[in-house]
């Protein structure tokens, strides 16, 4: 028996109901904020991803040569392809550009709950504007995507990489050491961070740095970074969040995103019910346009872990929409007229937008009813010879068991 590849999944009908529900909610939310949908190829030139993340990423992705010897890769994420598309096709368009997307991505990860080798990503990019108001709106969009989806237990953390770098440089920490620190803070690995710094800094300086990253208030940041211009911009972003209706958030310098192309405002949304892999959304300001050959311009965006959001909703006991079949029509008899009338009734109901199935197997009424019960259909319509002579059908509610004869014109 041939099985699906490791790290991939099959989605059964009941799974697809959940996925299409979430996609519908996210799409409507993106559109309500003035974003427009785009789509990029499933595979790109490998250089697109190595330019963004370095050659080390090759070990983490699916890369290959095509029949002409070109180095290609299945996309591991969607920000780089969308920015490549912008540089290639949209640089002359009016700004700001608000773009959103859905797509499958591929990474050669070790499969575990909430992390797969093939996964769906949803997200958006804001190109050409970086005012505090615009960034607040972007964060509120991410928050509202999850609000409208029905996720209740979630937390929003907002940081600022410019403030982090200013603080570290103030204490003489630069370049490779700074990158090491940010990687460890991104993982919340403070034990390793302490070991790296304890021989390089005094005890007081070490304590100050650890306190800075664990700082959770603007007041503390004002005391530490008094007079830094970026702090004023950061405060405006925070102030506008309330105007956009986001009143639950935490200021956190621990949010560093761990990727070097991020700059300035960064944020993450977590679902505590997911355990260790709790992050379901991440984003912020970044710089990639110049790297891909375009004229540098402000860019920001975020990506939602589509699969993790569904798991988080399931963990909360969220009731997804019921998309069962409305009517199952059973032609009770073998006469051609009964089957013909049943088909006409099915098509009439379908034109009215109802979900309708019809038994075309010719099996007995008992077996057809048993099938309807096992499939969870809402109602069964039995079309019999006697009923037809009287212009009626028998309708049975499969939930309550109630049954009635109703007039029809077919």
25 inside domain = yes
Q: Are residues 216 and 334 in the same domain?
A: no
2 inside domain = no
Q: Are residues 120 and 99 in the same domain?
A: yes
Q: pTM for this one?
A: 0.90
Task: Please report the pLDDT score of residue 240 as a whole number.
Answer: 96
Q: In this predicted model, what pLDDT tens digit does every residue of 279-291 receive, in sequence order?
A: 999 999 999 999 9
Q: Are residues 304 and 358 in the same domain?
A: no
321 inside domain = no
Q: Are residues 50 and 179 in the same domain?
A: yes
Q: In this predicted model, what pLDDT tens digit does every residue of 161-208 receive, in sequence order?
A: 999 999 888 888 888 888 888 888 988 888 898 888 888 878 888 888
7 inside domain = no
Q: In this predicted model, what pLDDT tens digit does every residue of 265-321 receive, in sequence order?
A: 999 999 998 887 789 999 999 999 999 999 999 999 999 999 999 999 999 999 999
Q: Are residues 290 and 360 in the same domain?
A: no
3 inside domain = no
Name the pLDDT band for 55 (thresholds 50, 70, 90). confident
Q: Are residues 71 and 170 in the same domain?
A: yes
Domain boundary among 287, 315, 343: 315
Q: Are residues 353 and 211 in the same domain?
A: no
Q: Note down the domain range covering 270.
A: 13-315
Task: Please report the pLDDT score of residue 387 as a whole number.
Answer: 84
Q: Are residues 125 and 181 in the same domain?
A: yes
Q: Read off the pLDDT of each residue in 350-374 and give the average, rounded to a whole number.
A: 95
Domain count across the chain: 2
% the chain with pLDDT above 90: 73
What average pLDDT does the structure give for the chain? 92
322 inside domain = no
219 inside domain = yes
Domain CATH code at residue 213: 3.30.930.10
Q: Are residues 258 and 154 in the same domain?
A: yes
Q: Are residues 17 and 166 in the same domain?
A: yes
Q: Are residues 296 and 336 in the same domain?
A: no
According to the 3-state scheme, what is the secondary structure of the chain?
A: CCCCCCCCCCCCHHHHHHHHHHHHHHHHHHHHCCCEECCCCCEEEHHHHHHHHCHHHHHHCCEEECCCCCEEEECCCCHHHHHHHHHHHHCCCCCCEEEEEEEEEECCCCCECCECCEEEEEEEEEECCCCHHHHHHHHHHHHHHHHHHCCCCCEEEEEEHHHHHHHHHHCCCCHHHHHHHHHHHHCCCHHHHHHHHCCCCCHHHHHHHHHHHCCCCHHHHHHHCCCCHHHHHHHHHHHHHHHCCCCCCEECCCCCCCCCCEEEEEEEEECHHHCCCCEEEEEEEECCCHHHCCCCCCEEEEEEEHHHHHHHHHHCCCCCCCCCCCEEEEEECCCHHHHHHHHHHHHHHHHCCCCEEECCCCCCHHHHHHHHHHHCCCEEEEEEHHHHHCCEEEEEECCCCCEEEEECCC
């Amino acid at each position: 028996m041939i099985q699906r590849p490791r790290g991939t999944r099959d989605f059964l009908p009941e799974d697809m109901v959940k996925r299409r529900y979430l996609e519908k909610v996210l799409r409507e939310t993106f559109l309500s904020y003035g974003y427009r949908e785009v789509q990029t190829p499933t595979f790109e030139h490998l250089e697109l991803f190595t330019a963004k993340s370095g050659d080390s990423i090759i070990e983490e992705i699916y890369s290959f040569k095509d029949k002409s010897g070109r180095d290609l890769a299945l996309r591991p994420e969607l920000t780089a392809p969308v920015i490549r598309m912008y540089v290639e096709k949209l640089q002359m368009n009016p700004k700001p550009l608000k773009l959103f997307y859905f797509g499958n991505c591929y990474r050669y990860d070790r499969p575990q709950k909430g992390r797969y080798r093939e996964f769906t990503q949803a997200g958006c990019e804001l190109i050409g504007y970086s005012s505090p108001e615009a960034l607040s709106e972007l964060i509120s969009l991410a928050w509202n995507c999850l609000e409208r989806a029905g996720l209740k237990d979630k937390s929003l953390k907002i940081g600022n990489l410019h403030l982090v770098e200013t603080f570290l440089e103030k204490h003489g920490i630069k370049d490779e050491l700074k990158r090491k620190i940010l990687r460890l803070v991104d993982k919340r690995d403070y034990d390793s961070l302490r070991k790296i710094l304890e021989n390089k800094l005094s005890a007081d300086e070490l304590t100050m740095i650890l306190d800075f990253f664990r700082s959770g208030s603007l007041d503390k940041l004002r005391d530490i970074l008094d007079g830094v211009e970026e702090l004023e911009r950061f405060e405006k972003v925070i102030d506008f969040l309330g105007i956009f209706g986001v009143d639950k958030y935490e200021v956190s310098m621990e949010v560093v995103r761990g990727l070097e192309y991020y700059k300035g405002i960064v944020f993450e949304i977590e679902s505590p019910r997911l355990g260790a892999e709790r992050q379901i959304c991440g984003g912020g300001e970044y710089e990639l346009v110049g790297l891909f050959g375009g004229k540098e311009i402000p860019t920001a965006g975020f990506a939602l872990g589509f699969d993790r959001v569904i798991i988080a909703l399931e963990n909360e006991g969220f009731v997804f929409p019921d998309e069962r079949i409305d009517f199952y029509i059973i032609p009770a008899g073998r006469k051609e007229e009964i089957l013909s009338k049943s088909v006409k009734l099915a098509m009439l109901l379908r034109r009215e937008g109802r979900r309708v199935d019809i038994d075309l197997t010719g099996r007995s009424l008992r077996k057809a009813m048993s099938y309807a019960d096992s499939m969870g259909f809402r109602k069964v319509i039995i079309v019999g010879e006697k009923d037809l002579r009287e212009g009626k059908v028998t309708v049975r509610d499969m939930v309550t068991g109630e049954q009635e004869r109703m007039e029809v014109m077919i």
